[in-house]
Amino acid sequence: KQEVTQIPAALSVPEGENLVLNCSFTDSAIYNLQWFRQDPGKGLTSLLLIQSSQREQTSGRLNASLDKSSGRSTLYIAASQPGDSATYLCAVTYAGGTSYGKLTFGQGTILTVHP
């Protein structure tokens, strides 16, 4: 069974810092990995999707990397801002037996950026 772990569970940083969020998964036979943002009481917003054949994806101040062989992904946020405060979740899509649309989420990292 696929398990996804995110470290740290919570992170508090001052504005302007660069930071790294970590995601690890146990089964490397994945199709893709996505990073999401969730604001309190809201739904999820997709940030980046990395396909299994890719090593990284970038969007603005965000950069996500993927190392399938080691079962790890990182989300790098440059020059953090108070508006980045949210819960960040990673999720992997994988084949579970005959099912090929299974998706497992990590528990998330709660990020607080203070002015």
* Binding site residues, other proteins, CB under 8 A: 31-32, 34, 36, 42-46, 49, 51, 53, 89, 91, 93, 99-108
C-beta of residue 31 within 8 angstroms of C-beta of residue 94: yes
Taking the least distance from each CB to other proteins, the nearer of 53 and 69 is: 53
CB of residue 42 to other proteins, shortest distance in Å: 7
Taking the least distance from each CB to other proteins, the nearer of 49 and 62 is: 49
CA 5 → CA 9, 16, 17, 37, distances in Å? Answer: 9, 26, 24, 16
d(CA 66, CA 73): 4
Taking the least distance from each CB to other proteins, the nearer of 18 and 46 is: 46
